Chains A and B, each alone.
Chain A
Amino acid sequence: MRPILEVCELKKTFPITSGMFRKSAGVLKAVDGVDLAILPNETLGLVGESGCGKTTLSKMILALEEPDSGSIRFEGVDVVRARGSSLSQVRRGIQVVFQDPFGSLNPRRKIGSIIEEPMIIHREGARTQRAKRVRELLEMVGLHEDILPRYPHEFSGGQRQRICIARALAVNPRLLICDEPVSALDVSIQAQVINLLVELQKELKLSYLFISHNLSVVGYISHRVAVMYKGRIVELADAPALFENPLHPYTGCLMDAVPEARPRKSPAFRPQRRGGDQDSSGLSSGCAYRAWCPRAGGICAQEPPLLQEKGKGHFVACHLADPQG
């Protein structure tokens, strides 16, 4: 099957400035050579800690940020170089749902006009057709049409996230980028929104790029999962394979850190103190993770590991990863 989205060798750096005259103090490699592909009707989960480049990557896919190098192709169209009508076609095909449903709805506009707006921007349908479509969308996300003349502040987080999803679906996108769509919601509401996303995918044959730091949510909703660390994909595999047999030490560390909703059997909770907080800007060559890696050897300091297939469909960027264990 042809992928709906192909990301190739994507790079983006931001200048770090300091001091009074904004002297350049180096560059931050936010996204450092990322390759990704999303198939039609597939959910690709993207996990990683804050600052690893998840959001920068999604912004480039949405053509909101220009990459330094590399290419992004959505349904055959070059997203980076798209202008005019082809750009508008890309923007229509890729929609986004943001993390904070309180900040992403305009408080001064009514729900009806919020959901209708994307159709107006993309010049879709006459007024009556649009009104009909808004009602359809509301039904799709499980809201009643009575809410059309109301304002965002009257709704709870879960309801607002449904409104955001309805707005994103208004122009019939094929790919939905969900940037932490449930992390601002309560557990019971989170489950409702996840179920809704799964249903909508079946119904509308959507693809999702599901960005989250919550591994259990990603594991539940994704077909494949990519783990990102310091701007690179370090592991990419089918969700079950990744969770049962993580090959990259960082993936293992992330999974150990997730508190399981099961009382501990061992006397105390003692995660290894690695990953997370530290700063690795000093490491210019080799593997970015080697300072915290328990297995790191000589080769790790010399060459950055490339993403290689080590098992069927299981890609890892680690010199020492061994699929047999």
Chain B
Amino acid sequence: MNPTLTKILAIMRKDIIAELRTREVIVSVLVFALLVIVIFNFAFGADRPIMEAVAPGVLWVAFAFAGVLALNRTFIPEKENACLEGVLSCPVSREAIYLGKMLAAFIFMLAVEAITLPVFALLFNLPVLSFPIILTTVLATLGFVAVGTLFSALAVNTRAREMILPILFLPVAVPVIISAVKASTLALAGQPWGEMFSWLQIIVAFDVVFLVVSYLIFNFIIEE
């Protein structure tokens, strides 16, 4: 196998093993996402027409906030026990560290969403388990972790730590949130692919641009 790819996968495996031993991130983020959905249910009332109108918004608020929570945890544990120095002294490039950590965060987020979506479908009796919504979720999550992993590394090195990530991440992620909500709304309404396509295009453009830019810029964050 390509040696760089091996290194990227090694970093990713390290994060996944750590997560499997503690189950810290996935469990707490999942509970948080479900809580957001339940709280929104109280905020809007459980009327069927209202719920149908706000469901995509509720789903994406839950995923965006859960994303912030999960992304904070990509670098805070590394910082707590000075593990980052260990990772940095490995014979891997900074870019490989970025991609490895990004992939691990991507998998954690997908795991949380894979449980949240069916629960959401069950609780609100809405057909959110359709292929268009799953595709939107995967693409939007990739955009979240692409820019979120970079900002997470940045936030953990500031005095404010976990406070700075949502302030940075949410405004930058606005295009993904808008597009994901719109695409999910169209999918829930049973619209054909045509209209959804332009929204998915924006998400894909965001994914590509920020994967490339974050990849290029990441080594400026963890220089020391």
Decide whether A and B are members of one complex. no
